[in-house]
Structure 1
Amino acid sequence: MAVSRRGLLLGSALTATGAAVGATAHLIPSLFGPDRLPLDGGYAPAGNADDWTPRGQIRTIWHVPTDQPLVALTFDDGPMPDWTPRVLDALDKADAPATFFMVGQNLRRHADLVKGRLGRHEVGNHTWEHKDLAKRDEASVRNQLVRCHEAIREVTGQTATLLRPPWGHLGGSTLTVADTMDYDVVMWSYRMPEDRFRTNPAGIVDDVAACVRPGTIMLAHDTGPADRLVTIDNLGEIIKAVRGKGMRLVTVSELLAAGTTASPGSGSKK
């Protein structure tokens, strides 16, 4: 088989690069610190789980295939004094459930905001400090998730079964820890596009109505920059619009329970 001169040069360069990386691999932790690149067993690889778990896998969910007209509304980053009470008030008025992915330290600090107010709602894990899990090794991920898990249990009385990684970022280390904690990882299929409706806040209601369909997981926030108020200020109307399409709001766990098994080859699981 003929090999071009360019191919030989490229191969030599790659070999030399690999050798250089191998020779200096022991220096990577000191060179890059805790946020080092995922080379030579850096922060993100799953590595070996400490124990064999019953599942040995993790579900990562963007939407739920279902034949029922169900959607889930989720809120990230709280609880915080600015908007969380307003969100809870709007949900109470509409008799609508939601899933709150709470930051553990916020929950500890502002436990009074949610005590007695979560009866119809579900609480999921959003880490202890809203850290980027894709930049953390297994021990650090476990610390972030366990501390938040315990805060949720102690403050709300719920046992979290859902994880939403901040910004949707995750590496293998996150999946390993999530599996040992029997979590499902929940992303989203519709993110409230507040930035598009800063000058036309009511427009977000029509956008939600146009986009939701059975199995949608909607992402909103109950704290953060001011443009997120576009959702908060119109939450009642958003709920009306969703129901106007014949949809029923449920928690993420209820939506998962209503999921249908996909046909072979579709790439989806129940």
Structure 2
Amino acid sequence: MFRSRPGVFRAPAVALVAAASLILTLSGCGVDPITPGDARGKAASDSSDSKGGGGEGAVDCARAKCIALTFDAGPGKDTPHLLDILKEKQVPATFFLLGKKHVDRYPEVVRRIHDEGHEVANHTWTHRVLTDLDADEVRDELSRTQEAIRKITGRTPTLMRPPQGRTDGTVSDVSRDLGLAQILWSVTAKDYSTTDSALIRRRVVDAARVDGIILLHDIYDGTVPAVPGIIDELKRRGFTFVTVPQLLAPGTAEPGTVYRP
């Protein structure tokens, strides 16, 4: 999990602390995650016309072997190259963007992410751990990035990822007010702790499963070079890459709700 601030490497042991914090935070505050399959099933049972996913549902993840590729804490200097790779491979992704020194530094890259059909999402303004903040501070962290992205793309994000995956009732309430669903993950390469692209690739491929959500960071040196191999191998294994909204379709991500495979 992403414990460090962008551009700062931490020892792998820190990731274990972050993992424990995530489990305690989710289990101790009444936040019950919903799986992508449950989201699809709920939509199917609630509506006979299956309109929930709209155009997002072109891929039927109830039948296909879907997996979502997501990137946190960008954009950064390597994001344009990543976008070139995704375009060449015809793979959509979901980008959870950081506001300060990222969205405000690379507005043209944010616009390109949006224009090329990827999902643009929120990863707070300064990457503060939201469960350490009061409601007004949580709102500020999220709303500033919401507005910055809206000004660039013309669209307000509907998804967010809490730093370190740490959430609670307060975070959920504020997210609901801002129209943001919370998206966690099932696969992490711990790319903050290594520049070994082959290792990053192996960690992702080994942990990949149906309805998975892959967490990577396009701000670390070893990550973007690992992406072509990840895509090629998972395609070879029969996976279809989708955005997070496509993974949930015909359901839609409900504000405040936590989604985790």
Report if TM-score (shorter chain) is over 0.5.
Answer: yes
CA contact (8 A) 2:113 2:120 kept: no
Q: 1:156: Cα distance to partner? A: 1.8
CA contact (8 A) 2:130 2:167 kept: yes
Partner of 2:206: 210
CA contact (8 A) 2:204 2:214 kept: no
Partner of 1:20: none
1:222 aligns with 2:218: yes
Root mean square deviation of aligned Cα: 2.8
Partner of 1:234: 226
1:93 aligns with 2:88: yes
Query: For residues 236 and 247 of structure 2, what CA distance do their matches in structure 1 show?
Result: 19
CA separation of 1:94 and 1:171: change in aligned 2, threshold 3 A: same
> What are the Cα deviations for residues 204-258 of structure 1, in whole angstroms up to 9, with x where unaligned?
43443332121000000011xxxx4333112111111111111111100110115
User: What TM-score comes out, normalization by structure 2 length?
Assistant: 0.69
Query: For residues 208 and 140 of structure 1, what CA distance do their matches in structure 2 show?
Result: 34
How does 1:1-270 map onto structure 2 within 5 Å?
A: 60=33, 63-65=35-37, 67=62, 68-81=64-77, 83-105=78-100, 106-118=102-114, 119-194=116-191, 201-223=197-219, 228-257=220-249
CA separation of 1:95 and 1:269: change in aligned 2, threshold 3 A: closer
Bigger Rg, which one: 1
Query: For residues 144 and 192 of structure 2, what CA distance do their matches in structure 1 show?
Result: 33
CA separation of 1:251 and 1:104: change in aligned 2, threshold 3 A: same
Where structure 1 has 5 or more consecutive residues not aligned to the other structure, the ranges are: 1-44, 47-56, 260-267
Letter in 1 for 2:85: A
Q: 1:203: Cα distance to partner? A: 4.2
User: What TM-score comes out, normalization by structure 1 length?
Assistant: 0.66
SS at match of 1:109: coil
CA contact (8 A) 1:58 1:185 kept: no
Partner of 1:52: none
Partner of 1:33: none
The percent identity for this pair of structures is 35
Letter in 1 for 2:36: V
* Higher RCO structure (Cα 8 Å, ≥6 apart): 2
Where structure 2 has 5 or more consecutive residues not aligned to the other structure, the ranges are: 1-27, 38-60, 252-258
CA contact (8 A) 1:72 1:251 kept: yes
CA contact (8 A) 1:205 1:238 kept: yes
